[in-house]
Amino acid sequence: MINVTKTFLPPQNDYQALLKKAWETGWMTNRGVLVQELEQKLKEHLQVPNVIAMTNGTLPLQIAIKALGLKGEIITTPFSYVATTSSIVWEGCTPVFVDIHPEYLTIDETKIEAAITPETSAILATHVFGNPCDVEAIEMIAKKHQLKVIYDAAHCFGVTYKGQSIFTYGDVSTCSFHATKLFHTGEGGALVCQPEYYNTMYDHHNFGHDGPEAFHGLGINAKMSEPQAAMGLAVLPYMSHICARRKFVVERYSNGLGSEDIQLLKLRDGVEWNYCYYPVIFKNEAVLMKVKTALEKEAIFARRYFYPSLDTLPYVDHSEPCQLSHKISACVLCLPLYVDLDRQDVDRIIKIINANIC
């Protein structure tokens, strides 16, 4: 069976050697030595001013919204994972969807200003499949209208834009270290922010504690645990190997799928990408279903990601549907992509797709 992804597992001995440190300290959580070491290493690896390790990639979104004091409407993208929208609603704000760019698949920055109202407090956009939003345009709009900017950068581990970590753009960026993501800690995630926000973000992820007996304010528990950090420390040394292997698969797909009937991801100029996903956009949903069924007959499970378009969720307003996002989410399939995916299997997938697209 070939799944859309397969978690990279480091040598078990590496993991156990790291866990031994947790046994020695007797600490399983509360920001022990392993979490601190992981944060330090990630700061260096990603070249960012700060990293707060968290227990998943959803809580950093919620904490960013809460800690920035956002209220009212938040402009967002309908083409993302459900956590982008659910975090907004969970924090008592209203998502206002702006349609996406047909090739980059990120929020269409030219349509943002028309969606701004006196109630708008922020823009929360996703760097889709590691492809950055137009961060410069978004920054200008945000400055002009005094809006905060949060980037859901769940896919962006290691991505740089114009030579700089993509996590350094916007007020806050979040990442996911879920087992299906490029870099992982089983479950896990992180928040990176402009230095002025660090203390408030940190406090919010640790119950608002100000020492053991006092509180700065409201907080929640989003702390990463020591076993999670051990997994991260064990995986981190393999990142260049992981990306090199994925690059090989990606290039083989791209060479084999050069057909006019298929739209491939167009990366923005200036991006150093991380080979995190291989989305393929078919002419229509019928072709997608035909390809998906043909792959499944061979026990190959591609995934409809992102589907459905988030402006169709049962708990959001449906009055202004985002047509492009509807069309693309109905036609997009992410192909299997992981470190030890065989060359023969990649060729087999290419052959099945090419035989089913017309």
Ligand X SMILES: *Cc1c(COP(=O)(O)O)cnc(C)c1O
Question: Could you list the residues that contact ligand X (CB under 6 A)?
Answer: 56-58, 80-81, 83-84, 126, 152, 154-155, 176, 178, 189
Please, which residue, 178 or 245, has the CB nearer to ligand X? 178
Q: How far is the CB of 153 from ligand X (least distance, A)?
A: 8
Q: How far is the CB of 84 from ligand X (least distance, A)?
A: 5
Please, which residue, 57 or 95, has the CB nearer to ligand X? 57
Q: How far is the CB of 115 from ligand X (least distance, A)?
A: 20
Please, which residue, 306 or 353, has the CB nearer to ligand X? 306
Q: How far is the CB of 92 from ligand X (least distance, A)?
A: 19
Please, which residue, 5 or 357, has the CB nearer to ligand X? 5
Q: Contact at 8 Å (CB) between 344 and 302?
A: no
Per DSSP, 256 falls in state H
Structure tokens at 224: 């990463």
Q: How far is the CB of 55 from ligand X (least distance, A)?
A: 9
Cβ within 8 Å of residue 103, ≥6 positions away: 263, 266
Q: How far is the CB of 324 from ligand X (least distance, A)?
A: 18
Q: Contact at 8 Å (CB) between 95 and 79?
A: no
Please, which residue, 155 or 245, has the CB nearer to ligand X? 155
Please, which residue, 80 or 160, has the CB nearer to ligand X? 80
Please, which residue, 193 or 353, has the CB nearer to ligand X? 193
Q: How far is the CB of 128 from ligand X (least distance, A)?
A: 8
Cβ within 8 Å of residue 351, ≥6 positions away: 256
Residue with tokens 């057909």: 259
Please, which residue, 34 or 83, has the CB nearer to ligand X? 83
Q: How far is the CB of 306 from ligand X (least distance, A)?
A: 8
Q: How far is the CB of 203 from ligand X (least distance, A)?
A: 21
Amino acid at 144: K
**Which residue is closest to ligand X by CB?**
57
Please, which residue, 66 or 155, has the CB nearer to ligand X? 155
Angle at 53 (CA atoms; ends 51, 58), nearest 5 degrees: 110
Neighbour-count burial of 1, counting CB atoms closer than 10 A to its CB (0-12 exposed, 13-18 middle, 19+ buried): exposed
Angle at 31 (CA atoms; ends 173, 221), nearest 5 degrees: 65
Structure tokens at 300: 């190959």
